[in-house]
A = this chain, B = another copy of it.
Amino acid sequence: MDKNIPYKTYLNENEIPTKWYNLRADMKNKPAPLLNPGTLQPMTAEELSGVFCSELVKQELDNDTKYFDIPEEIQNFYKMYRPSPLVRAYCLEKALDTPAHIYYKFEGNNTSGSHKLNSAIAQAYYAKKQGLKGVTTETGAGQWGTALSMACSYFGLECKVYMVKVSYEQKPFRREVMRTYGASVTPSPSDTTNVGRKILAEHPGTTGSLGCAISEAVEVATTSEGYRYVLGSVLNQVVLHQSIIGLESKIAFDKIGVKPDVIIGCAGGGSNLGGLIAPFMGEKLRGEADYRIVAVEPASCPSFTRGKFAYDFCDTGMVCPLAKMYTLGSGFIPSPNHAGGLRYHGMSSILSQLYHDKLMEAVSVEQTAVFDAATQFARVEGILPAPESSHAIRVAIDEALKCKETGEEKNIFFGLTGTGYFDMVAYQKYNDGEMTDYIPTDDDLAVGFAGLPKTDL
């Protein structure tokens, strides 16, 4: 152990950032605007206000303001579970016998079990401030739904969650956590919405997808009095709120006098990755520092590494605005054997633009290798990681093993987004040796691509 670097570096409460950082302000090539699915013209603030809260629409559309003040009520909520620790993985380093120094920012020490709470509390706050009655949303693994339930309960808002059916069945306890926080939870697709009924009619046996669940949640929000829709990933506003992860990490690294060489984050819709890298990418964009930044995605849902950079629907029902992003097509649904999270077909427009501009790399990994890494990590570092987070662990371990070969003392930094306590069905499959991998064929992907909208943008 390096005497100058503790196992865990915590900020004091008065060091927690009081502003979110808007990465877009430093991007030369801004992310492309959302388009109206009917007119294919950029969505106006007014149009977006039918779906999202007004303050959040402002944040969504603002590519220029560099910092947004975090309202005091949100700061206070953050203090209940933040700052999150920056951890030096001494035990993992020792187990790997690597000269590399491994660090991770652990966002799992709250009941939602992940970083999702950082944006949930912000979105609930603005909904409450606007005088709304409640919000609707979708959830996959359930982390986002749990986070939003907690946030709504805190502010006394109603919360209606559409949960991807396969997760609803595999993760019944998540449903109960949401109910304990007062939310209603419906498996998606359901017969409670027009779009759900349509999807069920066309694909009777479907286990659901985030895209379906989004469509249902949006329909309910836009047809119910006093409701708006909120989303836990992909959107610019979410990356803004999640910048708290990277900002805290940066302050902690400065405290211990360390500069990361490689920054690794798992990527589904991009909420964690975008937040984790924000201030580091900002330095890179401004030419103040350089970092190697790596997005890790599942081989079974490879939007960065095998997707197209194109305008696409954010949901299966095509009721949402179109976003320009790396996408597998809104009709893409990962193979049913996929247990590892990160199931979304697209990717944050911000991250997509940065990747397109070659400011970051992306790799895909198979799920049994991910669970190998998860188990190895759990046994030495004590934390049972979420499958999502374990994608980043896999690549961090691979990087550390490369350093062992080369003798390099690199500083490897990854985002440990959450815990796997509600993912024990997947772990059981792995423990029983029954986990399998599936890499989609080009033909599989062609199905999703065929559904891409025809635009010239």
A interface with B by C-beta (< 8 Å)? 1, 6-8, 10, 12-13, 76-77, 79-81, 90-91, 109-111, 113, 150, 153-154, 172-173, 176-177, 179-182, 375, 378-384, 419, 421-422, 424, 427-428, 431
With contact pairs A382-B80, A382-B110 given, residues A177 and B424 touching in the complex (Cβ less than 8 Å): yes
Q: Which residue of B lies closest to A156 (CB)?
A: B379
Query: In the assembly, what is the distance between CA of A383 and CA of B90, in Å?
Result: 28
How many Å from the CB of A6 to the closest CB on chain B?
4
Q: Which of B7, B91, B378, B428 contacts A181 (CB 8 A)?
A: B378
Chain B residues, CB < 8 A from A91: 80, 154
Query: In the assembly, what is the distance between CA of A153 and CA of B375, in Å?
Result: 11
With contact pairs A6-B79, A109-B109 given, residues A378 and B421 touching in the complex (Cβ less than 8 Å): no
Question: What is the copy number of this chain in the assembly?
Answer: 2
**What are 27 A-B contacts defined by CB distance under 8 Å?**
A1-B76, A7-B13, A7-B76, A7-B79, A8-B13, A8-B79, A10-B10, A76-B90, A111-B382, A111-B383, A111-B384, A111-B419, A111-B421, A150-B382, A154-B379, A172-B424, A176-B428, A176-B431, A177-B384, A177-B421, A177-B424, A179-B427, A180-B375, A180-B378, A180-B427, A181-B378, A181-B379
Chain B residues, CB < 8 A from A76: 1, 7, 90
Q: Which of B6, B173, B384 contacts A180 (CB 8 A)?
A: B384
B427 touches A154 (CB 8 A): no
B382 touches A154 (CB 8 A): yes
With contact pairs A79-B8, A109-B109, A424-B173 given, residues A153 and B379 touching in the complex (Cβ less than 8 Å): yes
Chain B residues, CB < 8 A from A13: 6-8
A154 touches B422 (CB 8 A): no
How many Å from the CB of A171 to the closest CB on chain B?
10
How many Å from the CB of A251 to the closest CB on chain B?
15
How many Å from the CB of A16 to the closest CB on chain B?
10
Query: In the assembly, what is the distance between CA of A428 and CA of B175, in Å?
Result: 9
Q: Which residue of B lies closest to A421 (CB)?
A: B421
Chain B residues, CB < 8 A from A111: 378, 382-384, 419, 421
Chain B residues, CB < 8 A from A180: 375, 378, 384, 427, 431
Q: Which residue of B lies closest to A77 (CB)?
A: B382
Q: Which residue of B lies closest to A179 (CB)?
A: B431
Q: By CB atoms of chain B within 10 A, which of A90, A110, A173, A381 has the most?
A: A173
Q: Which residue of B lies closest to A3 (CB)?
A: B14
Q: By CB atoms of chain B within 10 A, which of A12, A111, A179, A427 has the most?
A: A111
How many Å from the CB of A78 to the closest CB on chain B?
9
B382 touches A176 (CB 8 A): no
B176 touches A173 (CB 8 A): no
Chain B residues, CB < 8 A from A7: 13, 76, 79-80
Q: Which residue of B lies closest to A432 (CB)?
A: B179
Query: In the assembly, what is the distance between CA of A100 and CA of B180, in Å?
Result: 26
Chain B residues, CB < 8 A from A179: 427-428, 431
Q: Which of B81, B90, B379 contacts A182 (CB 8 A)?
A: B379
Q: Which residue of B lies closest to A419 (CB)?
A: B111
Chain B residues, CB < 8 A from A1: 76
A424 touches B176 (CB 8 A): yes
How many Å from the CB of A200 to the closest CB on chain B?
26
B422 touches A421 (CB 8 A): yes
Q: By CB atoms of chain B within 10 A, which of A12, A80, A172 has the most?
A: A80
Chain B residues, CB < 8 A from A77: 382
How many Å from the CB of A376 to the closest CB on chain B?
11
Query: In the assembly, what is the distance between CA of A12 and CA of B421, in Å?
Result: 28
Chain B residues, CB < 8 A from A380: 154
Q: Which residue of B lies closest to A108 (CB)?
A: B109
Q: By CB atoms of chain B within 10 A, which of A7, A113, A150 has the most?
A: A7
